[in-house]
Structure 1
Amino acid sequence: MAGIKAKMKVSDLRRALKALSQKELIDIIIKSYQSSDDIKELLLMTFNADEALEELFKKYKTQIKDEFFPERGFGKLRLSQAKKAISSFKKITGDEGLTFELMLYYVEQGVDFTNTYGDIDERFYNSMLSMYEKVIEQCNKNEDLFKAYKERLEAIVIDTEGIGWGFHDALEYLYYSIEWGEEEE
C-alpha cells in the first residue's frame, strides 16, 4: 500500500479548523492526544508547562544516556536516536537552556563511552564534534552561558586526551575558539 501523499498547508488547516464547532475541535484534539506521544507531550507542555518541562527533560536525558549506557547490556550507540531526543525536546518545549544542557550531555556521554570502550569510528567522532561545535557557537553568543558551563566544556577536552582520529585536537581548537578568552576573574 502506498503512503498518503495528500498534504495540507497550515493556512488550509487553519481555515478548516475555523469552520468546526467547539465540540468537533475538542474531539479532534482528543483523538490526536490518544494517537501520538508527541502530541501528548506538546499538550502537556501547553497546559502544565512547569511540571512537564522537568519530566520531559528527564525522559529525553534518559533516552540519550540509554544509547550509550543503558541500565542493562551495552549501548546500541544509535546516535541518530540520541540526537532525535534533543531535537524532539527542543521542538516540544522550546526551552533553549535545557536543550543546550542535553546537547552538552550528548557529547559528555560520547566521551565517556570512548573512554570506557576504546576508539570508535570517524562517523562517531564527527557527530560528537558537530554537537560540541553547536554548543560552542551558543557560548560565543552568550558569555554568561560560557561562564556557567566553562568547567564542563573544558573537562570534555581534557577527557579526550589521547583519543584518535584528531578528536581531541578538534575539540581543543573549538574550545579555544570561544571569543570570551581566558581572562582572569
Structure 2
Amino acid sequence: MATKKASPTWSDVKGALSNFDRAALLALVQGLYAGVKENRDFLHARLDLGSDVLGPYKSAIARWISPDVYRNQGTSVSKAKKAIADYKKAIGQADALVELMVYYCEQASGFCNEFGMEDEGYFDALVRMFELALKTSSSLPEIERLALRERLAAVGYTCHNFGYGVGDEMDDLQEKYGLNN
C-alpha cells in the first residue's frame, strides 16, 4: 500500500493528471467549474468567455470595500484585494488589472465620502492601491494610461474630504508618477 504525502505538491498533482484521458480530464475540470464560483470566474477570465470577464471581480471588490451598510455588511480590505489577486492569477492582463485597481480606489473613496470612515488601515490600503494603480498604469499605451489616471485624479480629489492626510498623500503620488493636478 502506497503512503500518501501529508502535503502533496504540484508535481504530485501533475503526475496524477498524466494518468487521465481527455474525458476524465474534462470531467475533473467540469467538477471544479461546478463546485466553486471562483473556479468559474477563473476559467471565464482565463478562456476570455463572456461579455464581462471583470464583472465578478468588480462585484467582489464592491462587496468588500464598499459594503451595504444598511444590511450591516462589514468591510474587508484583504477580501477586496484577493479579487484583484485572483484575476491576476487567472490572466493578469495589465489593462484589466489596472482597471480593477482603479475601480477599487473609486469604490473605497466613494464609500468613505458617502458614509465616512475612520479606519487608518483602510486608508493606508487605499493609498497603497492608488500608488500600485499609478505604477502599473505606466506600462499601458498612453491613451489608456491617461484615461485611467484621470479617474485616479478624481479619486485623489475626493480623498481631500477625509482628513488623515489621504488626499495629500495622493497628491504626492500623482506628482511622483508625473500627473499634473
User: What's the C-alpha RMSD, in Å, of the aligned pairs?
Assistant: 2.6
Contact 1:86 1:103 in 2 (8 A): yes
**Structure 2 counterpart of 1:10, which letter?**
W
Counterpart in the other structure of 1:19: 19
Report matched runs for 1:54-133 at 5 Å: 54=52, 56-67=53-64, 68-70=66-68, 73=71, 75-133=73-131
Counterpart in the other structure of 1:31: 31
Distance 1:5 1:74, change over 3 A: farther
**Structure 2 counterpart of 1:177, which letter?**
K
Tell me by how many angstroms 1:91 deviates: 2.0
Tell me by how many angstroms 1:22 deviates: 3.1
TM-score by length of 1: 0.79
* Structure 2: stretches of 5+ with no match in the other structure: none
Tell me by how many angstroms 1:106 deviates: 0.9
Tell me by how many angstroms 1:176 deviates: 0.8
**How many residue pairs were aligned?**
175
Tell me by how many angstroms 1:57 deviates: 1.3
* Structure 1: stretches of 5+ with no match in the other structure: none
Counterpart in the other structure of 1:152: 151
Percent identity of equivalent pairs: 25
Distance 1:85 1:42, change over 3 A: closer
TM-score by length of 2: 0.80
Tell me by how many angstroms 1:72 deviates: 5.2
The 1-side partners of 2:5 and 2:121 are apart by: 33
The 2-side partners of 1:43 and 1:139 are apart by: 25
**Structure 2 counterpart of 1:100, which letter?**
V
Contact 1:64 1:85 in 2 (8 A): yes
Tell me by how many angstroms 1:134 deviates: 0.4
Distance 1:32 1:142, change over 3 A: closer
Deviations 1:66-124 (A, max 9, x none): 33143953552222221122222222243321221111111111111221122422111
Does 1:135 pair with 2:106? no
Contact 1:119 1:164 in 2 (8 A): no
Secondary structure of the residue aligned to 1:160 is helix
Secondary structure of the residue aligned to 1:6 is coil
Distance 1:50 1:121, change over 3 A: same
Secondary structure of the residue aligned to 1:51 is coil
Tell me by how many angstroms 1:37 deviates: 2.3
Contact 2:137 2:145 in 1 (8 A): yes
The 1-side partners of 2:96 and 2:139 are apart by: 16
Tell me by how many angstroms 1:162 deviates: 4.2
